[in-house]
């Protein structure tokens, strides 16, 4: 026999649910995302991270600063990193970091890419070597992206190179995540979110060092978002009041509804702040040459008709959009693979003219071979010149983040998938820009004393997510104190 009281209660709850669902179901998606999407509040700024990995190593004798210590005065000794001098106060250059697999057992490039951001030994050899775990961008994304967004995954080079293409960002199962090589695709997504050029200052204080207050004008899109959320809250509030008065509700149900009601009330005090701050943290098209991006609508990689294969230009175009994406809180993390695994880009530097225009992979091997190693001093000089080109591109790219006031709430990391052209993965270069909310040391060149790259990523994960001892990759739970502020 069915208890009629239970049957009646079920019907009442169903009606109460259906009656409230119209307003509550509309309100919840906004409310659940609101605390983090409005994290530009002074007491809850989000921390953005972006990970760049270049190809074929560096020429170490002409790359690193001459000594460890404060960068002030160090970036003027004829080394490749001198190109970063204007960003010195926001930089941390780290030597002495090794990958878990410190030397190749097959194709060092594929193996290097597969552990550059995973900090785990790769599996397999040759061009098919791949990761055995998730990359740091993917782990961070699951903790900080508010709408379940996966990391932005970008590429500068020849995706159809036929040997090693995507090999940098990996999901939880170690499966490679497909990347996007044309900046126009990200540009399309951001043009509807950012305010038009001239609608605000485009920076938070205009100093290029972050932490300013901003004086931009209102953002029409942000104001419209605030209006919509306020109107939804009005509807939800009325229905919640009605539901709370229903005598058939349990005490627990009333408590849940009251908590939801309080959340709506509290959210209203942050909504206008959100709209104002979205307009003043650099979420405008100021500094973006829209004609350049529009011209890329049908762009395809061309290694022969564009200087340096177009890679350096594509890197900077990507990075300008990443800075905008962060300023608009479109996404909070991502990666850029800068060059192919065995990069055949022909860099037009003076020493390469003497060589007859070798591709970069040959130059890194110091001989005209994808497999053998040589000793050409001219190729060594060409490699050092290419390092200068790439550091200049990095400097130009970092300026986009500085101009949008992101130095105090971002970490931009540059590394390589091998240390040198001989495929060693010991003393891989790492350059960090931004202090990650005050957690990361700046203006220094430090030695990590053969630490594992997973230790560095542990420190970054903690800085971004607040998680203590995340035990990422092959770190054995250790972090890297030498990078801590």
Confidence at residue 248, expressed as pLDDT on a 0 to 100 scale: 75
Residues 329 and 454 reside in one and the same domain = yes
Place of tokens 């300026």: 399
Residue 43 in any domain: the answer is no
Alpha-carbon distances, residue 353 vs 234, 348, 382 (angstroms): 69, 7, 9
Residues 274 and 337 reside in one and the same domain = no
Alpha-carbon distances, residue 200 vs 44, 224, 482 (angstroms): 22, 16, 39
Confidence at residue 8, expressed as pLDDT on a 0 to 100 scale: 32
Q: Are strands 69-70 and 444-452 parallel, antiparallel or unpaired?
A: antiparallel
With b for 16 or more beta-carbon neighbours within 10 A and e for fewer, the 391-408 pattern comes to bbbbbbbbbbbbbbbbbb
Confidence at residue 240, expressed as pLDDT on a 0 to 100 scale: 65
Confidence at residue 237, expressed as pLDDT on a 0 to 100 scale: 62
Last residue of a domain, one of 259, 278, 297: 278
Residues 329 and 423 reside in one and the same domain = yes
Residues 57 and 183 reside in one and the same domain = yes
- Tell me the C-alpha distance between 209 and 404, whole Å: 9
Last residue of a domain, one of 229, 256, 278: 278
Residues 444 and 315 reside in one and the same domain = yes
Residue 403 in any domain: the answer is yes
Residues 304 and 355 reside in one and the same domain = yes
What's phi and psi for 18, nearest 5 deg?
Answer: -65, -40
Q: What is the CATH number of the domain that holds 342?
A: 3.40.720.10
Residues 200 and 315 reside in one and the same domain = yes
Residues 225 and 162 reside in one and the same domain = no
With b for 16 or more beta-carbon neighbours within 10 A and e for fewer, the 456-482 pattern comes to bbbbbbbbbbeeeebebbbbeeebbeb
Task: Give me 213's structure tokens.
Answer: 């207050």
Structural domain total, the chain: 2
End-to-end CA distance of the chain: 70
Which domain range does residue 297 map to? 48-211+289-483
Residues 12 and 114 reside in one and the same domain = no
Residue 426: Cβ within 10 Å count: 14
- Tell me the C-alpha distance between 273 and 406, whole Å: 19
Q: Can you give the three-state secondary structure of the chain, one letter per residue?
A: CCCHHHHHHHHHHHHHHHHHHHHHHHHHHHHHHHHHHCCCCCCCCCCEEEEEEECCCCCHHHCCCCCCEECCCCCCCCCHHHHHHHHHHHEEEEEEEECCCCCCCCCHHHHHHHHHCCCCCCECCHHHCECCCCCHHHHHHHHHCCCCCCCEEEEECCCCCCCCCCCCCECCCCCECCCECCHHHHHHHHHCCCECCCCCCCCCCCCCCCCCCCCCCCCHHHHHHHHHHHHHHHHHHHHHHHHHCCCCCCHHHHHHHHHHHHHHHHHHHHHHHHHHHHHHCCCECCCCCHHHHHCCCCCCCCCCCCHHHHHHHHHHHHHHHHHHHHHCCCCCEEEEEECCCCCCCCCCCHHHHHHCCCCHHHHHHCCCCCCCCCCCHHHHHHHHHHHHHHHHHHHHHHHHHHHCCCCCCEEEEEEECCCCCCCCCCCEEEEEECCCCCCECCCEEEEEEEEEHHHHHHHHHHHHHCCCCCCCCCCCCCCCHHHEC
Residues 455 and 404 reside in one and the same domain = yes
Residues 257 and 299 reside in one and the same domain = no
- Tell me the C-alpha distance between 423 and 11, whole Å: 70
Confidence at residue 343, expressed as pLDDT on a 0 to 100 scale: 93
Residue 283 in any domain: the answer is no
- Tell me the C-alpha distance between 48 and 334, whole Å: 9
Sequence-distant (≥ 6) Cβ neighbours of residue 262 within 8 angstroms: none
Q: What is the pTM of this model?
A: 0.78
Residue 376 in any domain: the answer is yes
Confidence at residue 247, expressed as pLDDT on a 0 to 100 scale: 77
Cα–chain center distance at 226? 27
Confidence at residue 278, expressed as pLDDT on a 0 to 100 scale: 42
Residue 135 in any domain: the answer is yes
pLDDT per residue, tens digit, the chain (485 aa), is: 333 333 333 333 333 333 333 333 333 333 333 333 333 434 468 999 999 999 999 999 999 999 999 999 899 989 999 999 999 999 999 999 999 999 999 889 999 999 999 999 999 988 999 999 999 999 999 999 876 789 999 999 999 888 998 999 999 999 999 999 999 999 999 988 888 887 754 333 222 322 332 333 344 444 554 554 455 556 556 666 777 777 777 887 777 777 766 665 555 544 444 444 443 448 999 999 999 999 999 988 876 656 677 899 999 999 999 999 999 999 999 999 999 999 999 999 999 999 999 999 999 999 999 999 999 999 999 999 999 999 999 999 999 999 999 999 999 999 999 999 889 999 999 999 999 999 999 999 999 999 999 999 999 999 999 998 899 999 999 999 999 99
Residues 301 and 440 reside in one and the same domain = yes
Place of tokens 């785990």: 120
- Tell me the C-alpha distance between 461 and 413, whole Å: 13
């Amino acid at each position: 026999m069915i208890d009629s009281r239970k049957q009646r209660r079920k019907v009442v709850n169903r009606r109460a649910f259906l009656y409230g669902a119209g307003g509550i179901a509309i309100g919840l998606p906004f409310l659940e995302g609101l605390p983090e999407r409005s994290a530009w509040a002074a007491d809850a700024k989000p921390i953005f991270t972006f990970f760049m990995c270049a190809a074929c190593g560096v020429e170490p004798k002409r790359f690193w600063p001459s000594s460890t210590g404060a960068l002030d005065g160090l970036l003027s000794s004829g080394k490749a990193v001198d190109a970063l001098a204007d960003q010195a106060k926001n930089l941390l250059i780290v030597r002495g970091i090794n990958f878990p697999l410190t030397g190749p057992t097959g194709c060092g490039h594929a193996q290097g890419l597969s552990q550059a951001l995973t900090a785990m030994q790769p599996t397999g050899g040759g061009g098919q070597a791949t990761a055995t775990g998730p990359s740091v961008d993917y782990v961070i994304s699951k903790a900080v992206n508010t709408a379940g967004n996966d990391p932005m995954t970008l590429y500068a080079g020849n995706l159809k190179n036929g040997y090693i293409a995507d090999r940098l960002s990996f999901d939880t199962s170690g499966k490679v995540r497909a990347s996007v090589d044309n900046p126009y695709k990200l540009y399309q997504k951001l043009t509807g979110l950012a305010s038009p050029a001239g609608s605000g200052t485009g920076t938070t204080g205009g100093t290029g060092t972050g932490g300013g207050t901003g004086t931009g004008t209102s953002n029409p899109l942000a104001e419209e978002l605030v209006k919509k959320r306020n109107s939804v809250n009005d509807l939800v509030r009325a229905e919640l009041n009605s539901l709370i008065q229903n005598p058939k509700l349990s005490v627990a149900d009333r408590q849940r509804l009251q908590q939801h009601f309080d959340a709506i009330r509290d959210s209203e005090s942050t909504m206008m702040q959100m709209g104002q701050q979205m307009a003043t943290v650099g979420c405008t098209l100021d500094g973006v040459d829209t004609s350049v991006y529009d011209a890329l609508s049908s762009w395809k990689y061309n290694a022969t008709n564009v200087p340096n294969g177009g890679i350096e230009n594509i890197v900077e175009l990507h990075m300008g959009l990443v800075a905008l994406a962060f300023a608009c809180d479109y996404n909070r993390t991502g990666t850029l693979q800068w060059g192919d695994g065995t990069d055949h880009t022909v860099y037009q530097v003076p020493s390469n003219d003497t060589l007859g225009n070798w591709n970069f992979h040959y130059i890194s091997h110091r001989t005209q071979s994808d497999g053998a190693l040589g000793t050409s001093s001219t190729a060594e000089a060409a490699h050092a010149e290419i390092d200068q080109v790439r550091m200049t591109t990095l400097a130009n790219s970092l300026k986009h983040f500085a101009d949008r006031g992101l130095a105090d709430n971002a970490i931009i990391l540059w590394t390589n998938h091998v240390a040198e052209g001989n495929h060693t993965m010991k003393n891989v270069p790492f350059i960090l820009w931004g202090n990650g909310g005050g957690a990361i040391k700046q203006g220094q060149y430090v030695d990590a004393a053969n630490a594992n790259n997973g230790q560095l990523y542990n420190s970054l994960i903690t800085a971004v997510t607040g998680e203590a001892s995340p035990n990422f990759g092959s770190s054995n739970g250790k972090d890297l104190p030498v990078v801590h502020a």
